[in-house]
Amino acid sequence: MTGPLGLDPALLEILACPDTHHSPLTVDEETGELVCTTCDRAFPVRDAIPVLLLDEARHRGTGEASP
């Protein structure tokens, strides 16, 4: 069974931001990203694989990759 963005719903329940606060991630299906509820970083999902690398994330307010 697959959920949003082709991800397993059980996986979505445990995914968290890799930054030090480890906040839950929400799904933004329109952009194909997982979004941190604390820092507003957006992590891409490529071929149903979440890319939870801080270097690959972007801050949604600016659209730029995280420093």
5-34 tens-digit pLDDT: 899 999 999 999 999 999 999 999 999 999
Q: 4-59: what fold?
A: N-terminal domain of TfIIb (2.20.25)
Overall residue count recorded for the chain in this entry: 67
51-63 tens-digit pLDDT: 999 999 999 876 5
40-54 tens-digit pLDDT: 999 999 999 999 999
CA 59/CA 43 separation, integer angstroms: 9
